[in-house]
Structure 1
């Protein structure tokens, strides 16, 4: 801990008390060495992979809290740097054998069915009729209702995975993620998924089965129950092979024919009632694990804007220690994913303090837990806000796994096309000599797959920032994804480009500063899918 940080903590307190006072340093210094030190600590073996709910994560959280305190930031939670998040970890009972029975034929878990644990009901035996619902999508805006004309009340919905070929990727990803909600609204009690051919080409059935054996993690709500957005959907599972064939017995349809139809551009198989009854039997045990989000505030300077908050966030957790890892190294250190994002956030916070000029809007800094378990820490923060009375969150910038192994020339802001955050990011990046590039992976729907999306679901414009694909960027990204993503090799031995790390932090400082100081808060664009879906009554901007 450097003496200079203590000096700035004291000086910053004086600045807060004296609005007209400014520090001498005209532009903040961000160095690769400082970022390297933060990543080096967070990705050390001593932290054992920072798995949420473990001692290693708690040490990482304490480190970030100490950095916030040293910088002179304020606590967002009264008398604490932490927002407690109690995780509920459900696992299948080892003494029982989960199964799905279809038309009297029992399919054991791990063969042609994949059934995961369910924390809200330790013992389950649910039987009902089933209805095939095509992709199981529903959107008034897009004029899609795969449930139209079908009676789902008290029944299982049976749906293809994903969304129709050719549907805009982000809309398709969102609607696919909302299938349980659509099924619940239709009156279903369960959702059974049939993976499409395209899905199985990307994710082999063996991997689908293996994932179902992993613990199902959620957070405890105020009633002490594992939180789930769709509590009426009690029975879930994925089927393939003979189990999928059994569902369609006597219907005159085959899984093969439906899958073949689904591979065609724009095809949407129609739904119909299925003949066999379905029963799901499973037993789960639930344990709890305390975790926490680490939060800090930099108060805004403008009395007219300081009640508006910009959130700069990064997930702090990674995958922990896994004995199943190939090779002698069992620690998943998560240097790039996402110690680099947290270190960037800390560098930006330090830059704000050292600039001597407080932003006009307030900034909330958040290192969140359990992203790897399903964006849980961010979901908890989004649904349990910590802002004071009258405070309003107006924009989110999420830092998740920037690839810092090359001197990037562009950045990607997933979500930039949906709100006025796009031009703000472009302007700020350009001032740092960096261009803004469009989404290079539209088919992946990445906008819906990281922590910022939990705030989008609450109606807040957001972007997710990564280094770009220009020059060596595409090759560097693909190499990391193929070789090091979610592997023990994601550690400090990677060929980090520390000057690029400093540049990425400088770009993000410029972006956060621009958002915080703009006269107008970020707005969704008029007619944008996500703005219409999650903030239908909000004032919108016309896209130029």
Structure 2
């Protein structure tokens, strides 16, 4: 494998981390420690998708699967599914101005009023078009924020987020930019603007986003060589701050303060804005390649082996920062998500050490989760197995710094996977608790959701909030999430990692050996939304 020659640069401590004698939980903890130490080493340079560091990490994981005895799960007897990708970022600050009818142009100020978007399909985008404010821009059931509005040939302006009256996970789905732009495109809009609300900026200050305005976005490439771009004819032009929104709404039928107040109850007014927007947006493209790592354990049942359960964890992280923190710029991603990858490898080992599963298990260590669930989307649309995928269990960022006694399985209440998690946890004295962060909409924000979009019942597993879990999770988000400090200096308890791996094994065993395949609960929102149509 072409990157193995680079491994000479790994610290001696990493390469010396080998299993020790003793009870199996101790050996499991030592193996997890070794995996995390390797994957979070500075040599990986933060494992950004398409980088040499990510390629080294992928080769390492493939070699571990081979040592365990997991079969290659990609085409041609390989552990690697190639993922052709496109990268794109703002080439410059762009230029935006609000032009009142018969009046002067009012420039928007970069970093204060707006941040430029990206257009994966064009290096230069120039638009001069009227603007229409569509509230949240949500179309759901009887609600249609476009009702009575003509947006054809115009720029849609929509508030970020979705009505608070929606169920939290459904709200997260409708708040997603892709979901909104698809509705705008369907009605002929030529551009899309997202406007912050005061509550958005209280939670995530606009200045924080401004520091990362030139980061790379990514997508996978279609066979034509074009970046996969839903709503490509309605590009996101810019993100507008509360301060910038005041310029967009000058002379509007309703004052901006009234719009924001009404948005809190879920029903902001909607209207054509009296001004046009002059927008110039330049996008820098690049092409790159990355891989998903795929392994397979064949099922033993002559019938059920033709159904596949996918166990996934993302291998990538966010790479190297342009602004070092305390002299450190490498975002090692020890818990996000080297811990998830390490525990997945232990699940594979446990299955091969015991009886074979009845259903086939596919282990997916995917790329570019941090870039928008790209690797999992590519796999879900281009699976390496011809057999139907009947479930996905996804691991992302388990907090392995305390002894968890409960687990959160986002989406558990939506399908028969919930009872499976409950039964598996009960065997270990681990409870299944409800989503402790409902307003975050986490069910839509990790790799499992790409399988949900293909109609596959899925859950996303995370250590729970009891026994100190809430404090551990909160402090991780505050101090270490997507920062160089997510490294081996954290108080990682590898015995907890072994426990989490065992729990995931028990859950996968429940699903793989059940007589009936997983099913969505009757009438579930996502089950109905993404039900395969003839």
TM-score by length of 1: 0.89
**What do the CA deviations read for 1:438-472 (whole angstroms, capped 9, x no partner)?**
11111111111111111111111100001111111
Partners in 1 of 2:37 and 2:322 — Cα distance?
23
SS of aligned partner of 1:236: strand
* Structural mapping, 1:295-310, within 5 Å: 295-310=294-309
Partners in 1 of 2:468 and 2:217 — Cα distance?
38
* Structural mapping, 1:328-407, within 5 Å: 328-355=327-354, 357-388=355-386, 391-407=387-403
Between stretches 473-482 and 502-511, larger displacement belongs to 473-482
| 2:37 aligned to which of 31, 40, 49 | 40
| 1:49 aligned to which of 33, 39, 46 | 46
Partners in 2 of 1:241 and 1:45 — Cα distance?
39
Partners in 2 of 1:135 and 1:478 — Cα distance?
29
SS of aligned partner of 1:293: strand
* Structural mapping, 1:62-73, within 5 Å: 62-73=59-70
Q: State the shift of 1:281 in Å.
A: 0.5
Partners in 2 of 1:207 and 1:360 — Cα distance?
49
Aligned position for 1:542: none
Q: State the shift of 1:376 in Å.
A: 0.9
Q: What's the Cα RMSD here?
A: 1.7
Count of residue pairs brought into register by the alignment: 503
Contact in 2 for aligned 1:116/1:216 (Cα 8 Å): no
Partners in 1 of 2:33 and 2:243 — Cα distance?
52
Unaligned runs of 5+ in 1: 1-26, 539-544
Partners in 1 of 2:235 and 2:321 — Cα distance?
30
Q: State the shift of 1:167 in Å.
A: 2.2
Partners in 1 of 2:237 and 2:306 — Cα distance?
43
Aligned position for 2:86: 88
Contact in 1 for aligned 2:117/2:239 (Cα 8 Å): no
Partners in 1 of 2:238 and 2:322 — Cα distance?
27
* Structural mapping, 1:13-412, within 5 Å: 31-77=28-74, 78-94=76-92, 97-103=93-99, 104-140=105-141, 143-177=142-176, 178-241=179-242, 243-263=244-264, 266-355=265-354, 357-388=355-386, 391-412=387-408
Partners in 2 of 1:425 and 1:183 — Cα distance?
39
TM-score by length of 2: 0.91
**What do the CA deviations read for 1:21-66 (whole angstroms, capped 9, x no partner)?**
xxxxxx9996211111111111111111111111111000000111
Aligned position for 1:15: none
Aligned position for 1:438: 434
Partners in 2 of 1:479 and 1:343 — Cα distance?
22
Partners in 1 of 2:259 and 2:316 — Cα distance?
40
| 2:517 aligned to which of 507, 521, 533 | 521
Contact in 2 for aligned 1:348/1:506 (Cα 8 Å): yes
Cα 1:241–1:515 change in 2 (3 A) is closer
Between stretches 162-171 and 334-343, larger displacement belongs to 162-171
Contact in 1 for aligned 2:322/2:329 (Cα 8 Å): yes
Cα 1:323–1:191 change in 2 (3 A) is closer
SS of aligned partner of 2:384: coil
Unaligned runs of 5+ in 2: 1-23, 100-104
SS of aligned partner of 1:127: strand
Q: State the shift of 1:250 in Å.
A: 2.7
Q: State the shift of 1:234 in Å.
A: 2.6
